[in-house]
A = this chain, B = another copy of it.
């Protein structure tokens, strides 16, 4: 439908509700919706307000796609890979194993074909999507025992969210779906052997270090998970052009600010976790390689079966290959030098030679 003209008397008063899939306790990931809503309100002098509701408040955390599709709420903030049961293509809008990192995902959305292709994909769901946050590469989770080789993955009962469980399963693991509030107890009792969550800052809140000391990296199934703002198409179409522009810019602001929050908060949290006994380990390359091969086989199968996946994935995969090829030179060259441990021991400037 056409947007109503803005009256000369001023902009219209609009009240929306946003259903988040996250609890308020996750101040980083939930907080992005607050940053968005505050920006929209300030930019419109309080005329366009969006009330933010935690997961479960208006609808179940995983009910937000239905909620936006049916217009029960005007918008939602979620991790699209929760919805791969509806269509695996949802996962590409968030994270798939061995995919894009945070910056690359943003590049694909803003300046590649990502936004265009996903807007097409979301049409039947009455969703207009905007990138709104990224956690950065997640950690690979907490394990009661060390994982030395692929043999240790066989039969491993692991709580793993989203699409990554498909690949874990393909390399012999047993993915478990357990709500956030129950993971700690399951891990303590040994009902599960391992769990992943997000990264140091969020993981610390759930106390996993007390019951599973081995903390692995990288989270190869989530190299840069993007969160999305879903807006109901009809509600969006009803906005004046000014509010559409404000909504998009506010989403960009919240997008960048969420990654900044994680980046600023994770280092100190990691130090506290290590002080509390966390033992950091890097996944063995044999595990990474097996998982990589299983992931590529899965994507190939999905492309054969699902035209929607094929269309979006092919563009995503081509972009991914180019990105990782380019990033290996100057970005990695700079980062690897800076991360070579030099700083850990040279707080003071070294003497002149």
Contact = CB atoms under 8 A, between A and B. Distances in A.
Q: How large is the interface on A (under 10, 10 to 19, 20 to 34, 35 or more residues)?
A: 35 or more
A101 interface: yes
A327 to B, nearest CB: 6
A210 B352 CA distance: 38
Nearest to A219: B330
A322 B218 CA distance: 18
A199 B242 CA distance: 36
B288 A242 contact: no
Number of copies: 2
A140 B331 CA distance: 11
A148 to B, nearest CB: 17
B324 A339 contact: yes
A220 B292 contact: no
Interface string A293-335: 1101101100000000000000000011111111111111111
Given A9-B8, A339-B328, A39 B334 contact: no
Contacts of A350: 293, 296-297
B339 A332 contact: yes
Contact of A330 (B199, B332, B337): B199
A262 B53 CA distance: 36
Nearest to A248: B253
A223 B334 contact: yes
Interface stretch (A14-22, A159-167, A180-188, A265-273): A265-273
27 contacts: A8-B9, A9-B9, A39-B249, A42-B241, A42-B244, A101-B331, A101-B334, A101-B338, A106-B259, A106-B263, A107-B261, A112-B264, A136-B331, A218-B329, A218-B331, A252-B257, A256-B256, A266-B326, A267-B323, A270-B326, A290-B353, A296-B349, A324-B339, A325-B344, A328-B339, A335-B335, A336-B336
Given A255-B256, A297-B351, 7 more contacts: A10-B10, A110-B264, A111-B265, A218-B333, A249-B249, A263-B326, A299-B349
